[in-house]
Amino acid sequence: MSSTHVPVDSQTISFGDLTELLRQIFLRHGTSANVAAVLAQNCASAERDGSHSHGIFRIKGYLSSLAAGWVDGRVVPQVEDVGAGFVRVDAGGGFAQPAVQAAKALLIEKARTAGIAILAIRNSHHFAALWPDVEPFAQEGLVALSVVNSMTCVVPHDAQAPLFGTNPIAFAAPRAGGQPIVFDMATSAIAHGDVQIAAREGRTLPPGMGVDRAGQPTRDPAAILDGGALLPFGGYKGSALSMMVELLSAALTGGHFSFEFDMSTRPGAQTPWTGQTIIVIDPDKGGGQAFAQRSEELVRQMYRVGQQRMPGDRRYRQREKSLQQGIVLSAQDWVWLKSLAHC
């Protein structure tokens, strides 16, 4: 073990033990065994990689939505083979990740045959980081792009009221000399989860993230959460990408736009009820040299001109550390998770 500082008031847990603890929690709060396993793996992976806004921080929201009957933790997703390169899934009001899992083998088979395949998921709840939905494809030599819309809280560029969700885009591509290239980013200036964490910790946000209930710029996360809203990143450019995410996640799939459901009608509901699209490409069908060699060359050139790190590198570094030294949880979170598993 390294001598890296670990806070005294904390608990260190292995990735496997955290996954198992979370699996028990989901199981005890109304999910099927399969859904519990899929969500536990997803949530523990986020905590392992330091994606803290979408790790155990989200457990309260998952359980609240389950208890409210807003999301179905037991439904079995219905996979439909609708074209040479098109797979559809009706998630049945359940979580998106089991829908991805149910369709994955067919999607990969189609991508390898046709060169490209689309997975269109509707009637689904996505409450997680998006990178776990694309990274595994790149580990199999494929290129993957995913989008998911969330809940109305982002004001389109130049507009006066929120309409879009925080709508992330995630991309993954194989690379010859290292871990896959992966980026995963909200199209809002900041993820909603990070606003909640800043409010909890009493931190002020950088300028340009959001507005208060009167539409005035604010750096106070509590004012954003209390009737205010977020802004897209990068002005009209981020706003256009957020619009694209709405179209691909909802219009294409048959899911809800971020503004088409109202969580306030179901007390306790926290998970956005929308849709998700994943596009998978087999780069071997391209006309260039081996894709992974070419992506390695691009990375080499990026470093040569001064880029300090690749997107995804912070996570990979944190992953390695967590796998070697364990995942550090606060004592408070540890006691809370144990109580949820045994209640």
Q: Which residue numbers are catalytic?
A: 53-54, 194
Nearer to ligand PYC, 102 or 245 (CB): 245
- What is the sign, positive or negative, of the torsion defined by CA atoms of 209, 215, 219, 224? negative
Give least dist CB 56 to ligand NDP, A: 14
Distance (Å, whole) CA 77 – CA 3: 46
Assess contact for 70 and 273: CB atoms under 8 A.
yes
Q: Where are the beta strands (DSSP E) in 96-180?
A: 116-125, 143-148, 169-173
Question: Cβ closer to ligand PYC: 87 or 231?
Answer: 231
Interacting partner of 185 out of ligand NDP, ligand PYC, none (Cβ under 5 to 8 A depending on kind): ligand NDP
DSSP H or E stretch at residue 329: strand 327-330
Sequential DSSP letters for 19-33? HHHHHHHHHHTT--H
Q: Which helix (H) or strand (E) holds 86?
A: strand 86-95
Whichever of 57 and 334 has its CB closer to ligand NDP, that residue is: 57
- Pick from 19, 31, 166, 270: which binds ligand NDP (CB under 6 A)? 166
The answer to whether 328 contacts ligand PYC (rule: CB under 6 A) is no
CB 101 within 8 A of CB 38: yes
d(CA 219, CA 230): 11
Q: Are 132 and 102 in contact (CB under 8 A)?
A: no
Residue 265 carries which side chain, given as an amino acid letter? T
Instruction: Please tell me whether residue 27 binds ligand PYC under the rule CB under 6 A.
Output: no
* Residues 296-325 interacting with ligand PYC (rule: CB under 6 A): none
The answer to whether 270 touches 127, Cβ cutoff 8 Å, is yes
Site for ligand NDP contains 130 (CB under 6 A): yes
User: Which CB, 114 or 225, lies closer to ligand PYC?
Assistant: 225
191 touches ligand NDP (CB under 6 A): yes
Site for ligand NDP in 31-70 (CB under 6 A): 51, 53-54
Could you tell me the smallest distance in angstroms from the CB atom of residue 148 to ligand NDP? 5
> Residue 278 corresponds to which tokens in the numbers above?
């994943």
312 binds ligand NDP (CB under 6 A): yes
Q: Which is nearer to ligand NDP, 90 or 194 (CB)?
A: 194
Residues that bind ligand NDP (CB under 6 A): 51, 53-54, 126-131, 148, 150, 166, 168, 183-186, 190-191, 193-194, 272, 309, 311-315
Interface residues toward ligand PYC, by CB under 6 A: 53, 127, 150, 166, 186, 191-193, 272
